[in-house]
Amino acid sequence: MLLPLGLAIVLLSFKLLDRVLPQLDGEHHGGKRTDWLRRPWPMFALGCIVATLTLSVSVALTLLVPLASRGFVKRREAIPYIMGANITTLADTLVAAMVLGNAVAVQIVLAQAIAVAIVSLLLLAIAYRHLVDGAMRLDEWVVSTNRRLWLFVAILFVLPAIFLTSGIWLGPIAT
């Protein structure tokens, strides 16, 4: 019963968010109020904040859809937001590890979050333009033909299945 209720609440929330955002034409992008959405560091911080507050990278990324459809954010400008959301998505895992009282789990999650944060911050500070250009070129290449797109989607499903079943084939890991 909670799943349909949760889905209804999420859909209602997105409907309300869609009503709040003003309509923009192709030339006008909201003026000075939304200029900060075009800069990498504020978008990175916004991604961190939204993913931390919602404890869900899925919700944080879903919020980009109405912003992009209304012209507030372009694909290139969303990359820092996604990077920030990616770092803080580990917050819920960290909370779970702390609630369980498992010190080793807390250390592992913190180590992973720190490593992801260091790599993301370095990329954002040093190689941001190259990262964005490369991601956009890869995106254009993948979606340029239906065959490549289908192959990409298939890989998204096949590789995790291979990784999950490879443990079965290799047997138990010795400790």
Interval 53-99: pLDDT, tens: 887 888 888 888 877 777 788 888 899 999 999 888 888 788 888 99
Stretch 26-50: mean pLDDT: 74
Q: What are 17-33's pLDDT values in tens digits?
A: 767 766 655 444 455 66
Q: What are 92-132's pLDDT values in tens digits?
A: 788 888 999 989 999 999 999 899 999 999 999 999 999 99
Note the helical H segments in the chain. 2-20, 40-54, 57-62, 64-69, 75-88, 91-100, 103-126, 128-143, 146-170
Can you give the residue ranges of every domain in the chain?
Answer: 14-23+34-170
pLDDT at residue number 129: 93
Q: What is the reported pTM?
A: 0.70
- Cα gap 83→124, rounded to integer Å: 9
* Angle value at C-alpha 40, between 79 and 134, nearest 5 degrees: 45
The answer to whether 92 and 53 have CB atoms below 8 angstroms apart is: no
